[in-house]
Chains A and B, each alone.
Chain A
């Protein structure tokens, strides 16, 4: 992975960083790159309450906030920003307000690389709206001054329409850190882990391939 001056990661939910990006984040941290993670919401609308239940709709955000902090600690993220938006409402926010939030982050941090979701190819409306806001903010900059923009996409049609991802980071040196980051989001990932534990122990090739390869599409600006 190329050494970056500053990485800015922008996602709407605690745990969005865990599955597809945490190995890349951990690698940049190891390279000595300052990392800022701006997380828009606390995942207030998550549906996993534990099985057996250990929380409820009103307490879930408090738990997820602690999980997010723990994941950031595990990954070595020095600068975690919780932006105070509400889960599942990002697409209904004022677009200009969101753009300005992203522009302010970019202006303050001057990142050489931004990681977010690919708008239109990221399934959850919050993902698409977050990615779109980042794209609008970066687009405002003159082409030569723009940071690199690497996007995560996972809609069923993403490869068909975007082509294969142009960046595949093999993160196997930091697999353990990545797994710890995923597990930090216990309320949301515990059940998934129960199904995966055996496969992880046996180094199941399909699961390890999924864990160890993080895929990004460089955003293509129209102008």
Chain B
């Protein structure tokens, strides 16, 4: 993955607009966060292969970045995004990594289901 280039990411987001797409979205502190620090409140969420359509998608911020997708009946968004990749299957992979390279958030868009 590379550091986010807003122009390239915005172009990729646009290319998926107004068609059926599959979404992977997750946030995580890791399963050991509260074990390592008992005062830490660990929370996260995960959805894989949500089938949606969005009419508008936008990347904003100065880095870490935010991405919001306006879908038919609602919204999807992620914050804390630092890296992107358009992979060999032409999927847009976005992720936010902390200073140790650990993944904290991921938002991925694909026109075919994720494995």
Binding site for B on A (CB under 8 A): 45, 47-53, 56-59, 61, 88, 123-126, 155-156, 191
Contacts and interface: CB of A to CB of B under 8 A. Distances in A.
Interface stretch (B8-16, B60-68, B94-102): B94-102
A189 to B, nearest CB: 13
B38 A49 contact: no
B53 interface: no
A148 B87 CA distance: 47
Given A49-B1, A56-B93, A124-B31, 12 more contacts: A45-B28, A48-B103, A49-B102, A49-B103, A57-B26, A57-B106, A58-B87, A123-B32, A124-B32, A125-B31, A126-B31, A191-B101
B85 interface: yes
Contacts, number: 59
A8 to B, nearest CB: 24
Given A47-B102, A47-B104, A49-B101, A58 B31 contact: no
Given A53-B101, A56-B1, A47 B30 contact: yes
Interface string B99-115: 01111101010000011
Nearest to B91: A58
Interface of A is mostly: loop
Contact of B1 (A45, A53, A123): A53
B70 interface: no
Contact of B93 (A48, A52, A58): A58
B35 A156 contact: yes
Given A57-B93, A57-B95, A123 B31 contact: yes
Contacts of A50: 101
